[in-house]
Structure 1
Amino acid sequence: MPGTDDPEVRDLLAALERHRGFLTFTTLRLTDDEARLTPTASELHIGGLVKHVTATERGWVAFMTGSDMGAAAGDWWAGHHMGAEETLEGLLDDYARCAEETEAAVIALDSLDSATPLPEAPWFEPGTTWTARRVLLHILAETAQHSGHADIIRETIDGQKTMG
């Protein structure tokens, strides 16, 4: 990746870029209506997954850089669903901007060892801190997991597969 000589940073950003590519591949040639389809037992749909992954990534990058994570919190339904006024193209453009913002933030870090205390929440052990490295691994895992969800949904819609 340009801008950094740290091989670990380059590797993490490259892995994240690869999994973002898997997620965005599931959107190829979908209409907005198709991006809202929920053809599986899940309430998830492809447009909503793109929207959710974007907000989640932004929230964790804000946490990692010492900004307010609050922007990622909110209404679960709205955060996981493509609104009637939203377009898949708009969501993908926002996701691309998010990727650029993340890369710039990671490259600007002094160290992947920088640690920040996690916010108080029932799902976090009190007093736990995460390093920037752990945050990036979490974003990568979240992206990969939801890419798989999107792939199953897309295959159910029209048979397209990301791999295979």
Structure 2
Amino acid sequence: MAMHAPMTSNENAMLTGYVEQQLLAVRGAAYGLTDEELWTTPTASALSVGAIVKHVARCTQGWLDRIEAAPGEPARGSDEEAAEEYGADFRRADTDTGDSLRAELTGALERAQQLLPQVDLGAKVPVPSDAPWWPADLDAWDVRWAVLHIVEEVAHHAGHADIIRESIDGATMYELLAADQNWPETEWMKHWRRAEATAEAV
């Protein structure tokens, strides 16, 4: 897609475009990194690009579960299982590879593209009660709020991913998005390429 979410009078399409835009920004931050580079922590934070990709994919899927189940509750495990799983999506598992993480994120993107254009934005999404940050004085949000929350959550982490990626190899958002989405190159905007491949041209 283009750099910006599409302008449209269709609210579902506009919200879908913003979710897509932010998920692609996170995917772009991971573009071209090796498996080891994905888990590098070059800043003062313990976060890595790989951890962000994994968290964003799973967080997005969790909210899509809630949206799809509205006005009911999505299937979920016990509070004990939820507590055990908390934070696991920021840690590297033995089965995590660059390909598997990118596939997980792309799966969340494709599900959003299929579900959100047709969802009832006024449907009620029950407020969970399994963590202290959920509002105690509210029974439900509407789907519109939940979709905007996905945008907020993913955009927050897209900024983290940008900083971490630039700290790894100096790559910036536009050149990464251009390469990931195969934008036409111009005199001033080129696709990201590994430094070794372009050293002679610099």
TM-score (norm 1): 0.87
Is residue 89 from structure 1 mapped to residue 99 from structure 2 by the alignment? yes
Structure 1 pair 98/8, CA: closer, same or farther in 2 (3 Å)?
Answer: same
In the other structure, the counterpart of 1:39 is 42
Residues 20 and 113 in structure 2, CA contact (< 8 A), matched pair in contact too: no
Q: Which amino acid aligns with 1:39?
A: P
In the other structure, the counterpart of 1:141 is 152
Percentage identity across aligned positions? Answer: 32
Matched residues, number: 160
Picking from 59, 64, 68, the partner of 1:61 is: 64
Residues 30 and 49 in structure 2, CA contact (< 8 A), matched pair in contact too: yes
Structure 1 pair 113/6, CA: closer, same or farther in 2 (3 Å)?
Answer: farther
Structure 1 pair 52/131, CA: closer, same or farther in 2 (3 Å)?
Answer: same
Structure possessing the higher relative contact order (Cα contacts under 8 Å, 6 or more residues apart): 1
* Shift, 1:53, TM fit: 0.4
Q: Which amino acid aligns with 2:170?
A: G
Which aligned pairs between 1:67-106 and structure 2 lie closer than 5 A?
67-68=74-75, 70=77, 73=82, 74-106=84-116
Q: Which amino acid aligns with 2:75?
A: D
* Shift, 1:25, TM fit: 1.1
* Shift, 1:75, TM fit: 2.7
Distance 1:123 1:131 in 2: 18
Residues 60 and 69 in structure 1, CA contact (< 8 A), matched pair in contact too: no
In the other structure, the counterpart of 1:119 is 128
* Shift, 1:154, TM fit: 0.5
What are the superposed Cα offsets for residues 66-105 of structure 1, whole Å, 9 maximum, x if unpaired? Answer: 2225599443342112323211111111111111122222
Is the partner of 2:173 in helix, strand or coil? coil
What are the superposed Cα offsets for residues 118-163 of structure 1, whole Å, 9 maximum, x if unpaired? Answer: 0113212225211111111011111111111000001111111114
Is the partner of 1:65 in helix, strand or coil? helix
Picking from 6, 25, 39, the partner of 2:28 is: 25
Picking from 50, 55, 58, the partner of 1:52 is: 55
Structure 1 or 2, whichever has the larger Rg, is 2
- Listed as ranges, the gaps of 5+ residues in structure 1 are none
RMSD: 2.4
- 4+ runs deviating over 3 angstroms: 69-74
In the other structure, the counterpart of 2:142 is 131
* Shift, 1:32, TM fit: 0.4
- Listed as ranges, the gaps of 5+ residues in structure 2 are 1-7, 176-202
